[in-house]
Structure 1
């Protein structure tokens, strides 16, 4: 039980965190957070020893993560069938295929009622869209998997009751949304999309120009108003109480607005993340904070803070474009050098490794790492493969590539020119590397099942990102995976095999050390993972279309077998690799 002295000290820390954001301690926020923390503590004492939906990792002494952690990224309505809600249907698909044995956590992309952007324009933060199912469906899924939710906190939908109150001049919501005078110089503001920054709305008191970073329907919340901060932190805690082990802070980098700046990664934004982490640690300890910042690497990892006060995890946004560059250029040197540069500030932090998600493949995270001409080549390859390029507006009025809109499967090879067998080998090589790297791996549903780019969805909707957001009918999905010679079946079975083998090796724990090997950079890359108990796995990859033979320093990697190929080997003999083969040596 918390003593009075400890409680006083704790709330002083809360006040310090609030002051970092606002320069003062607004009473409404201080009192609101004190009430929230005390309520959660009281509930925790009352339910001590009983089962609870809330995550209890740190509070029960369990580690934040281990080698069994793999996250599946998926939409709540990813799979549909008659007679079941989409959430129930997807749950059934996952368990029918034994994936609860291979995947520990399911990241449900925004499942709240929404008016645009496939869920990222939230109209009610605490409801489940009835088209997808119910909270009971989510809690049922949570009995077989840990859960990860999105907090879409930069903006809400125009349809949200807060915004409706704002445009009705309801004084309760008068300062809930960020506004600006369109005559002011906003040229320094970093834009993720080539759309107007301000959108006019008519109110009884006149026209209000509201900040709309992502679209006119996605209206930016005003965190300079402590009432907004309190509402959103309360929502954050509620998500953890409703079963979220990991909470993704969507588009967090844009949170704070200050005219005359880039409005990106401002000190108040970092302070806001620290405040959110502070409150979660005191209300639902063990909940993992993940920041989503699709920016160059050094900017991205700044959200680790000092290693103990900000994000537990950050997305490894540089990995997808660097892996793609390596497999197309034949030069693995950039990828290897970047991997050597990776470090973590504490054992309370790790990377969220992925190659694909609901968004495109970000180009900005490769800036400063890959020569511009090689980025241009990736853009051209994606266009040659029949896919799309997302653009962003620059301050000088020009546009630059922002993301590659294509499934990662179709980005690594052109299905029109390679066989299904070779295509799957190329793709699974990239996934085997990602799954091996230090951090928690995340697998997008469409990578798992080998989905093709959905060009028809782009043409029908006019939305380039729909290219890798295909929603399946259950019969359609089962039929696609039933043909043993099809690309989708090859990818699905190959991926399941990778996950099955990975789960058996503690050297893939996020805490295990990682050392990049000195190998030829003409398509080869290798590294060694070493667990705390000394267990090692050497990862050697050939990302070329030619067989290779190399010798591995037995001091770095002493091995007797390849656990992926189930092949006995000897350190005394040269190591052979087929085209696009990845070996896990032990």
Structure 2
């Protein structure tokens, strides 16, 4: 307590010293008194937290207060430049801090160049996004990046210049406002663990500028890299071994966790934090509503550890959060942490990342589809799904990235599963190596030393549609479509924001043509990043086609979701089904209650009437999916891959 009180006294004194200079600079730049008052009010509210976080990170550095003052000046300048329409959105969302918990939230994600080519063309698809029911649109990395292999845009060469093949920064800002008018929040990536080796900061480091060399981790020999690598894991083992790259032009080893052209930033340097805060605020002022924080576990390095999920990583994100609350209050953070489930949860709070991908749900839905048994999924969700108030999951079935089996080993053992062997089975199943598998996926980053691997593939190909079409079997095609719809029904009803990778809504299959592009051939993830499937989109209203069947059913479910307050926020309770093939959970908000039952088997399954009465509750229920009454006096039979959303009849 003594240290905390001392820090808070220093926080108050520092603000007293710094605030007049910041206010003067704001006024000299043309800021109005009313605008300053709003900024100052938020600054005073968040300052104790922000100061404590930054002092804990950088307080021992001789130039700490210089960086602090420069940060405040940049924040005030950003607020001054923030467009009026965004300031209005700030006020609205400060008054409704749970806007993203609505049952009307529905997300979509796409690569602009793969979907339609340019930002200008993307505006033409806003009616399509509205037809699909989207209220959240994530555009994959679209800023300048090296030509050729750039890790799908995650090797960022500029945080402020859009890739000229896609458009301009001005067009992106216009699109953000047009999407907002259509009721769609824009989501972009904030790639803050690393830059490309073509970024201005990296170029200056290569030119010998000592200030910018301190932006990265550079070593003259292998002494330090070898010491670090004793405890590091390899992320992309098929790309190159280890986490460091030799640069002959600099005669230095560079820390490169991912690819050799992606240089990790040194957040122990306060100049790096300040520079990245400025980039974050620039993106916020373009109209971005949510920033996806890329690779959050890796942003702090500590010798003798795996350099993941370090306490300072949380402090950095929390400090960014405080800055956003002052200067861009409508901005939310979405954590991308594909790590152990406990570590995923550690990044989620109103003071850190309000949103988080749910990699556990994603992985275990595929696990359940392969095994036809819900035991690991139900057990894991029963104690790993709940989030702090004011936060939400982003629930997805696949993304631009691979599928990894990030379940907890002890959860697996608790239900009688050997975790290592099970992961080997799942990799074999989803790459089609397991006898009887319906999936057609590809391995990603197989590590010959550990046997570890992940899986690539579109939703439809992994769920069996590609194989069924190749075999020309109408029954197998129908079963595959049922699997696709079943998976979507879970992410739409389980609690949080559902997210669709655009193309999945019309059953897009794997695109194996990526192997003919040298920049993509070594990265199997491109198999599930195909060009827009316009033929399938044109068939979406024809119920006799596969795209029509998937699209019409999915949009009906999305529309139904918007009418059910029970599906808002993330409160969910896993309940008994007494059937190893059927997942059961309850959603409730206020008096409205929905019991979800989902059959993960290709055979009919029965649920006892007493369970329906217990969790329904009541003797007379109504299935919102089939729009028909269900009696709880007898057992309910679920057809292959059928799901029901049951509510008491009186709540219809």
Same fold (TM over 0.5): yes
Between 20-29 and 430-439, report the one with greater CA deviation.
20-29
Alignment of 1:91-106 (within 5 A): 91-96=123-128, 98-99=130-131, 102-106=133-137
Quote the Cα distance in structure 1 between the aligned partners of 2:599 and 2:39. 58
The match for 1:182 is 222
Please report how far the alpha carbon of residue 364 of structure 1 lies from its aligned counterpart in structure 2 after TM superposition.
Answer: 3.1
Please report how far the alpha carbon of residue 571 of structure 1 lies from its aligned counterpart in structure 2 after TM superposition.
Answer: 2.8
The match for 1:161 is 200
The match for 1:390 is 444
The match for 1:32 is 70
The match for 2:553 is 494
The match for 1:11 is 47
Quote the Cα distance in structure 2 between the aligned partners of 1:400 and 1:280. 42
Between 177-186 and 492-501, report the one with greater CA deviation.
177-186
Alignment of 1:28-427 (within 5 A): 28-41=66-79, 47=84, 52=87, 55-65=90-100, 66-80=102-116, 86-96=118-128, 98-99=130-131, 102-115=133-146, 116-133=150-167, 134-135=171-172, 136-144=174-182, 145-180=184-219, 181-183=221-223, 184-185=226-227, 186-194=229-237, 195-196=240-241, 197-203=243-249, 206-304=250-348, 307-344=349-386, 346-365=388-407, 367-370=409-412, 371=417, 372=419, 373-384=421-432, 385-391=439-445, 398-413=449-464, 415-417=466-468, 419-427=476-484
Please report how far the alpha carbon of residue 14 of structure 1 lies from its aligned counterpart in structure 2 after TM superposition.
Answer: 2.0
Quote the Cα distance in structure 2 between the aligned partners of 1:506 and 1:279. 33
Quote the Cα distance in structure 2 between the aligned partners of 1:503 and 1:407. 26
Maintained 8 Å contact 2:300/2:310 = yes
Quote the Cα distance in structure 1 between the aligned partners of 2:450 and 2:547. 35
The TM-score normalised by the length of structure 2 is 0.81
User: Is 1:585 the counterpart of 2:651 in the alignment?
Assistant: no
- Superposed CA offset, 1:511-550 (max 9, x none): 4x3121111242101111001x211111111111111232
Quote the Cα distance in structure 2 between the aligned partners of 1:479 and 1:466. 24
Maintained 8 Å contact 2:512/2:527 = yes
Please report how far the alpha carbon of residue 574 of structure 1 lies from its aligned counterpart in structure 2 after TM superposition.
Answer: 2.7
- Superposed CA offset, 1:285-333 (max 9, x none): 13211110111211111112xx342211221111122111112212111
Quote the Cα distance in structure 2 between the aligned partners of 1:322 and 1:240. 34
The match for 2:32 is none
Please report how far the alpha carbon of residue 477 of structure 1 lies from its aligned counterpart in structure 2 after TM superposition.
Answer: 4.8
Between 563-572 and 269-278, report the one with greater CA deviation.
563-572
For the residue of structure 1 that corresponds to 2:467, the secondary structure is coil
Count residues in correspondence: 568
User: Is 1:503 the counterpart of 2:562 in the alignment?
Assistant: yes
State which structure, 1 or 2, has the greater radius of gyration over its C-alpha atoms. Answer: 2
Quote the Cα distance in structure 2 between the aligned partners of 1:427 and 1:166. 49
Please report how far the alpha carbon of residue 387 of structure 1 lies from its aligned counterpart in structure 2 after TM superposition.
Answer: 2.7
Maintained 8 Å contact 2:363/2:405 = yes
- Superposed CA offset, 1:365-420 (max 9, x none): 45444433332221111221443212365xxx823434211122222226324632
The match for 2:599 is 542
Alignment of 1:426-505 (within 5 A): 426-458=483-515, 460=517, 461-462=520-521, 463-472=523-532, 474=534, 476-479=535-538, 481=540, 484-505=543-564
As a proportion of its length, which structure holds more helix? 2
- Superposed CA offset, 1:133-190 (max 9, x none): 3323344334321111100111111111111111001244221112244233222112
Please report how far the alpha carbon of residue 358 of structure 1 lies from its aligned counterpart in structure 2 after TM superposition.
Answer: 0.4
- CA change 1:483–1:89 in 2 (3 A) is farther
Quote the Cα distance in structure 1 between the aligned partners of 2:350 and 2:371. 38
Quote the Cα distance in structure 1 between the aligned partners of 2:192 and 2:556. 37
User: Is 1:530 the counterpart of 2:588 in the alignment?
Assistant: yes
Quote the Cα distance in structure 2 between the aligned partners of 1:398 and 1:70. 41
Quote the Cα distance in structure 1 between the aligned partners of 2:539 and 2:70. 51
- CA change 1:27–1:405 in 2 (3 A) is same
Maintained 8 Å contact 1:121/1:217 = yes
Quote the Cα distance in structure 1 between the aligned partners of 2:465 and 2:423. 18
The match for 1:563 is 624
Maintained 8 Å contact 1:113/1:127 = yes
Maintained 8 Å contact 2:338/2:344 = yes
Quote the Cα distance in structure 1 between the aligned partners of 2:122 and 2:409. 37
- CA change 1:156–1:60 in 2 (3 A) is same
For the residue of structure 2 that corresponds to 1:253, the secondary structure is helix
Maintained 8 Å contact 1:389/1:401 = no
- CA change 1:51–1:17 in 2 (3 A) is closer
Maintained 8 Å contact 2:540/2:552 = no
The match for 2:578 is 520
Quote the Cα distance in structure 2 between the aligned partners of 1:3 and 1:198. 43
The match for 2:28 is none
Higher relative contact order (CA 8 A, sep 6+): 1
- CA change 1:98–1:6 in 2 (3 A) is closer
For the residue of structure 1 that corresponds to 2:466, the secondary structure is coil
- CA change 1:297–1:97 in 2 (3 A) is closer
- CA change 1:229–1:487 in 2 (3 A) is same
Quote the Cα distance in structure 2 between the aligned partners of 1:567 and 1:155. 54
